[in-house]
A = this chain, B = another copy of it.
């Protein structure tokens, strides 16, 4: 077996201006989990949220250590609102709850994948998912590949 050749950023080779900070706020998160996080300068990791059975990608939000702790220990998806500077439990005001089935961290510790059971729409516009603006892909590589599939 040959070693895979990385074409993604390699953790450990980061200049000091890159994501590296510790938690921004006090947190009860298990230190073993916290040690694996690679946070933005604001102390956040990105969370991708997916419907557990259909695989639909519903939304993206942000978590700090404490939001992750609350998500793992309550089973209710909890995020950090960058605009309001506070925690929000998804569905708390809208009723569109997210019951958490699983949480996985990615290889370089800066992204989470949540598998949830989403009640009602995930998007604040009332749509099921937040990804509803298609952008035009005109590239030849994509077209060629599509023609073969």
Contact = CB atoms under 8 A, between A and B. Distances in A.
The count of identical subunits is: 2
Given A83-B9, A139-B73, A134 B104 contact: yes
Contact of A137 (B5, B75, B90): B75
Interface string A75-103: 11000011110001011111110011111
Interface residues of A, number: 84
A102 B57 contact: no
A96 B7 contact: yes
Contact of A132 (B15, B104, B137): B104
A121 B2 CA distance: 13
A141 B100 contact: yes
Nearest to A8: B124
A9 B139 contact: no
B135 A104 contact: yes
B105 A139 contact: no
B141 A106 contact: no
A133 B36 contact: yes
B57 A18 contact: no
Contacts of A73: 138-139
Tell which of A75, A93, A125 has the most Cβ of chain B within 10 Å.
Answer: A75
Nearest to A81: B9
